[in-house]
Amino acid sequence: MSTAASTRRTRSPWRRAGTGLGLVLLTVYSLAPFYWMVVSSLRGENDILSNAPLPAAPTLANYADVFGGNARFLLALRNSLVIASVTTLVALLLSVTAAYALARLRFRGKPVVLGAVLAAAMFPGVSLVTPMFKLFSDWGLIDTYPSLIVPNLSFALPLAVWVLTSFFLDLPWGLEEAAQIDGCSRPQAFRRVILPLAAPAIFTTTILVFITVWNEFLVASSMSLTSDASPVTVAIARLAGSSQFQQPFGQQMAAGVVVCVPLVLVVLVFQRRIIAGLTAGAVKG
């Protein structure tokens, strides 16, 4: 016993060092693209293709070009905010009630419904672009918010339903029954007992759905032919240089930083709540 214990004590520092080294490498690997995007956004036209780790002469000219001389980018930011906010709100309203029903009610075919929800979340979006474009084109909704919100909702809703259902299945339903014994109806017990308990999972789902919709490009590039309803992902891809043969790498990097920074800040500020929501249903209590 003592030999085994001493062996564990001897190996534990090396294990901790290996774990720390792995975390450092994973962090560097994950943040390297974002770091290079920030550095490239600070380069001028003369050294935009340089491989130096730092810009020779840092400049904010790319950011000035994006905000000052490109009104379409500001419009795209507004479009993305509207599309992502509306899609997230509708997805939450529908997914919370659907997840509660799937977790609490007993009916035939429940495993089939859950399997269909998971299958819908994994269905390749590229196979749906052509029929959706034909459908919204017949309705005259191309270049409008509905043509972007509805497809995003079809992708975001299965994700939200699946995450919340997994959480609701592990809730202590005795609290809801106790509330009903005390005189609450099922809707009142759901509002006063279940929703507060599910707040961490709902908050996490909100962040996940918002980020998913904010970063969506495939459907947006097909449904928005002009800048009227184009989100930022499409606006960045359509940024044009001063000439036909010039690619505005600096402006694209600056626009990418502007788009990514709010999401990074949200995740950093609320990382504990996000982790709590992802792990809240892992242990029954």
Domain residue ranges of the chain, discontinuous segments joined by +: 71-238
Architecture, CATH, for domain 71-238: Orthogonal Bundle (1.10)
Least confident of 8-17, 157-166, 230-239: 8-17
Tens of pLDDT, residues 86-96: 999 999 999 99
Per-residue pLDDT at 213: 92
Say whether pLDDT at 121 is over 90.
no
Give percent above pLDDT 90 in the chain. 15
Residue 161's alpha-carbon distances to 54, 151, 155, 166, 254, in angstroms, are 44, 16, 11, 9, 35
Say whether pLDDT at 103 is over 90.
no
pTM of the model: 0.82
Say whether pLDDT at 149 is over 90.
yes
Most confident of 47-51, 227-231, 239-243: 227-231
The residue-averaged pLDDT of 115-133 equals 82
**Using CA atoms, how far apart are residues 255 and 115, in angstroms rounded to an integer?**
39
Say whether pLDDT at 7 is over 60.
no
What is the DSSP-derived secondary structure letter of residue 225? Answer: S
Tens of pLDDT, residues 200-217: 888 888 988 998 899 999
Say whether pLDDT at 30 is over 60.
yes
- Spacing of C-alpha 158 from chain mean position: 14
Q: Which residues contact 68 (CB under 8 A, 6 or more apart)?
A: none
What is the DSSP-derived secondary structure letter of residue 177? Answer: H
Q: Taking each helix axis as running N to C, give the angle between helix 71-104 and helix 199-214, from 0 to 180 degrees, rounded to the nearest 10.
A: 140
Q: Average per-residue pLDDT in the chain?
A: 82
Say whether pLDDT at 285 is over 90.
no
Least confident of 25-39, 46-60, 88-102: 46-60
Give alpha helix (H) positions in 125-231. 126-139, 145-168, 174-181, 186-189, 195-197, 199-214, 218-223
Q: Which residues contact 160 (CB under 8 A, 6 or more apart)?
A: 91, 92, 94, 95, 99, 205, 208, 209
| CB distance 208 to 60 below 8 Å | no
